[in-house]
Each structure stands twice: as structure tokens, then as C-alpha cells.
Structure 1
């Protein structure tokens, strides 16, 4: 099977590539040399690119259907972190060989997540080589309303959009180092393989949050980006960090907390809010978990239940550090 037949059979024919209409900003999708996107007056285009590599971001022998879901979800989460509404994505897929069963499963998982997120496949590329994929996602939002990392102010609340650490708690199960045949393990595995980008929350935070991002490398590491960009200090009370019952059952209280603080792969939003903005968001039904506050100074500081500073074991994932 050649490259173009592969694209036609597994990707151009997928539901996420055959969506029609310009209401979402797509004037022309897959099939030509370029896709054409329209930006309405008063709007901006949000663009983000992620590369996922076998053996680094996912196991070499991972389930292709789950991999398709995960690949698009983690990329789309960047749009949520900016408060953007989803438009579409491109996929550059590198595979070692043409395996029809693998491709069919991968395309099915990709299509399922695209439907869940309202994302349209706009085009891409396929090539032969070690398994990896690069996705570029596109979103739109009103001009000047993007959620940035640079607006946090002393006195703001520091919040997250849900329980943290589940994906990190699942990693030993994914790698076959821990039993995965329990309901709690299944729940953690779902969070690892099928994270749900918080697109609605991100859009609800427009004009309310002073800073935001999605948590991909761990709470402490990613909050450090807000602290640095905003020239402030973020104070985290470890007793207020939300942990799921499944994570506590699998990893225990201390292990679960370490997963939440530095494990990464959560794809939950972290954001800062003026104190008077939180009640309205809660009344609208959005998950608002206050875990600390913004103060003068620099860096991220972790406090125990007595308010004493705690030195974390590690702060998060970094590709170029051991």
C-alpha cells in the first residue's frame, strides 16, 4: 500500500476529515496542498504543535486505538489552556511499516477523540521510520481574550480544574509493573489513555482567570511557568491538592500526592483567579479546586498542614534531565 492510498483509506475517509461547512473557520480541509482557515473579524487563531515519540511518550507496544485518542487529547489540551474553541488539527505520522490492523485501530481512536473535542482533521503527512506522530492543533478565540501565563497577581487564588495525579499513578500499570486488574486501576488507565481536554472550562475562564495553562509536566513544574511569566510566587497547600479515590487506593496517600505534584500527564487546567470570580464559576457548574494563592516574590512554594515549607522530592518531568 502506497502513501496516498494509506491516507485515503485510513484518514481522508474518517468522519473527522469529512466534516463540512465554514462555521468552524475551515474553508478547505484535507485533500489539497494546504488547508484554508478563515479568521473572523475580531478573532485570533491559536496554534500549538506536539510531538509524541514511541518509548518516550507512550509504550512501544501500546494499543493503537488508545494511542490515537491520547495523541489528539494531549495536543488539544493546549487549546483549553489558552481558552480557545477548537477548529481542527493536522497529523504527521511516522510508522515503521504499513500494518492495516494497527492503522485502522489508530484512525478509529483518533476519530473518536476528534468527535469528542469537536476537532476536524485538516491534513498532514505520512512517512516511514520509527513510530512517532506530530499534531498541530488550531483554535479560535476573541481577540485579546487568550488565557496567558503572565497575568497572575498577588492575592489571586490558585486553582486547578480537577483531581491530579491519576495518569502518573497509571504509568506503572501501563508499563506492567503493577496489577491492572482492579476497578481503580481501570479508572487510572482511562485517565492516562483518554484524557479529556477541559475546553469548556478554558472558554469559561476568558475574562475571569488572570493566568492559566494545562498541566502536562506536573503541577509544581507547570505552576513555575506561571510564577516566572507573572513575576510572582505561587503558594500551594499540599493538603488542598485534589486526589481521586482511585489514585489513593492504588498509590496510597503519600504516593498519590507525589503523583499529583510532579507526575505529569494530567491535562487539567491550572489557573489563577480573583477571589470574587470563583463563586460565579462554581454556580455555573465548573470544577474549581482552590489549592493555594498568589503572593509577592518568585517561584513555587509547597506548604504542609501546619503552614511550614516542604521541599518536594522532585518538581516534574523534563525531557533533557535524568
Structure 2
């Protein structure tokens, strides 16, 4: 049973890390050395997961390992980058062998799937906190930012919204769902799928993009604020799963999709002339983007919501996630 930092790193990370030819020096040195592709920019993202804020003690350690990487790859996807390298700073209260085995397995599986290599980091003893920094690459000058939306652009999302939020409420015993939906929402909560392939095909097509981690209203609001525009959203077009619509009433389902977050879908904008190209570029993907509204003139970053042509407002008690709100809830993701 390893009980020191270097044995833990060697047994659970160094000996099982995927190998890339562009990693010159990886785990085990004072720093990692990597070799970027010629004429490519590097995109760097960082996310932290904290026990009691982003997950609770009942969350499987394999899911924590998966999600710690997935939320970072989702940020890379939003900028159109191809994942390459990952570093991990892990603060853990103990050296429980089962926990470390499951956590490192979850982390390794998603890294191998997306062909990114763990190249280093740090381990310390303390309250369970996981910080991952991921590096991606893309052709120079092609990164998708949050600030490019223009009036007349269409607003899209890459997949169904609200399932992870429903999964969280199920794990907290606030809502119950039928057996055939239970596994779906728990999987969406614990094992999100970053839209890496979609992000890459949006380069040169989308005018702006963000991943939905804190809820559609909050994250679309960031796009609008950066570009100093507003938006109209047609709520009947929101992609909602049967799990959501068969568990909650219509207003609750819409509110969950708009505010819950943790879905790690992409929200992006593109002009009319790129719609056909986008549909062609995404035709091979299992999940197809859905148009939910349009960017409008106006510098207030306001989101006008309509349902079948009528104005619609959030039911009382629903709001997007905010780390520094007065009342925090356990929420997975960042």
C-alpha cells in the first residue's frame, strides 16, 4: 500500500498515463516538456472541483476523475481546440487504495478516449480538491471566443439541457424519476461528454461559443455581455429529453434546462450564411446542434424568452449557479 507522495504518483498515474509523441518529458521531472504542432496556438484552461461544492461524499471516485478532466475538455471544445495535455493538482485527505484506484481509472479512461496525456502536477494531503489544467491546440488565429456574436446571428445549443440538473436533484432526494430515466440522468450528471469534435468543426463558422456549465441563461448571458448584444430565445425549440419532460411539469422542465447547468453542451452563434455549412460539418456527429433563437440589437445583454410566441418568465425559485451566492448548494462542475 503506497503511503508517500511519490509512490502514489508512480503507482496511480505515471505507470498508466497514455503516451503522445509530442510529450518530450512527462511525469516525474520538475516540469513537463511538450512540442506543439507547427503554426498552432495553445489554449490553456483550468477548473477546480471541491468536495461539498461540486460533488458530495456519495459521488463515485471514478466519476470524479472523469469529470475533473471532462469539464476542462469542454472549455477547450468551446474554443475549438484539440485536447493534448493535462496536469493534475490533487489534494486528498487519505491514501485509501480503492479510492485512488477508481479515481485514477476514471481520469485515465477519459484521457485515453480523447488522446490527451497526463504530463504532471502535484499531490498534497488535505480536504478533497481536484484542480486540472488542460492544454489544447488549434491552427493559429482560429480560436473561437465569447465576444463575436452579431445581431442577426442564430443561437444554437449542441444537445439536450437540464438532464444533469435533474440527476443532481435525484441524488439529493428532491425529485424521483422512473427506473428507465434514472440511469440516464445519473450518467449525465457524473459522466458528462465534452463536445470536442463539434467544437473543432465550428472553427471558422461560429462567431462565438461557450460551454454550458452554470446554466443556459447565465452562460448565454456571458456571450451577450461580451458582444454587447441581446437575444431572443424560443423555448419550444429547446432540446429536452424524455427523462426531463416525463419527470417534471412543462414549466419546471424549461426552468431546469435554462438554469441547472452541468450539461457541458456548447452554446454558439453563427450568421445565416454559415448555417448550411455548419449542418454539413456536423452531419457525421451523433448529436446535432439545435437552433433555439437569434441575436438581437441592444447593449443590455438581455435575454427575451418566448414560448410559442408568448413572453415567458422563470418560475419563482429558479436561478443559475453562482459560487458566491448567499446560499450555496452542492453542484457538480464549474
* Pairwise TM-score range, normalised by the shorter structure: over 0.9
Alpha-carbon separation, structure 2, partners of 1:210 and 1:309: 27
Consecutive unaligned residues of structure 1, counting only runs of 5 or more, are none
Aligned length: 317
1:126 to 111, 118, 123: 123
Alignment of 1:41-80 (within 5 A): 41-80=38-77
Partner of 2:294: 293
Structure 1 residue ranges, 4+ long, deviating more than 6 angstroms after superposition: none
Which residue of the partner structure matches residue 317 of structure 1? 321
Deviates more, 1:282-291 or 1:139-148: 282-291
Q: How does 1:1-322 map to 2 (within 5 A)?
A: 1-14=3-16, 17-22=17-22, 26-179=23-176, 182-284=179-281, 285=283, 286=285, 287-297=288-298, 298-313=300-315, 314-322=318-326
Q: Confirm or deny: 8 A CA contact 2:74 2:194 kept in the other structure.
A: yes
Q: Is the 8 A contact 1:169 1:251 kept in 2?
A: no
Question: Mean alpha-carbon deviation: is it higher for 187-196 or for 249-258?
Answer: 249-258
For 2:8 and 2:178, the matched residues in 1 are separated by 36
RMSD: 1.5
SS of equivalent residue, structure 1 residue 250:
coil
Q: Which moved more, 1:255-264 or 1:170-179?
A: 170-179
Q: Given that residues 301 and 309 in structure 1 are in contact (C-alpha distance below 8 angstroms), is that contact kept between their aligned partners in structure 2?
A: no
> How far off is 1:51 after superposition?
0.6
- Contact 1:302–1:312 at 8 Å: present in 2 too? no
For 1:83 and 1:103, the matched residues in 2 are separated by 32
Structure 2 residue runs without a partner (length 5+): 327-334
| Superposed displacement of residue 283, structure 1 | 2.9
Post-superposition offset of 1:180 = 6.2
Mapped contact 2:235–2:308 kept (Cα < 8 A):
no
CA distance in 2, matches of 1:316, 1:134: 23
**Per-residue Cα deviation, 1:100-125 (whole angstroms, up to 9, x for no partner):** 01100111111111122222101111
Contact persistence 2:90–2:129 (CA under 8 A): yes
The C-alpha deviation readout for 1:150-195, integer Å capped at 9, x for no partner, is 1101101000001111100111122244446612011011111111
Q: Deviations over 1:51-104 (max 9, x none)?
A: 100010011231111111111111211000100000011111111111001100
Matched residue SS, 1:86: strand
- Structure 1 residue 312: deviation in Å? 2.5
Partner SS, residue 226 of structure 1: helix
Q: In structure 1, what is the Cα distance between the partners aligned to 2:45 and 2:211?
A: 12
> Is the 2:205–2:278 Cα contact (8 Å) retained in structure 1?
no
Instruction: Judge conservation of contact 1:12–1:18 (CA < 8 Å) in 2.
Output: no
1:41 match: secondary structure? coil
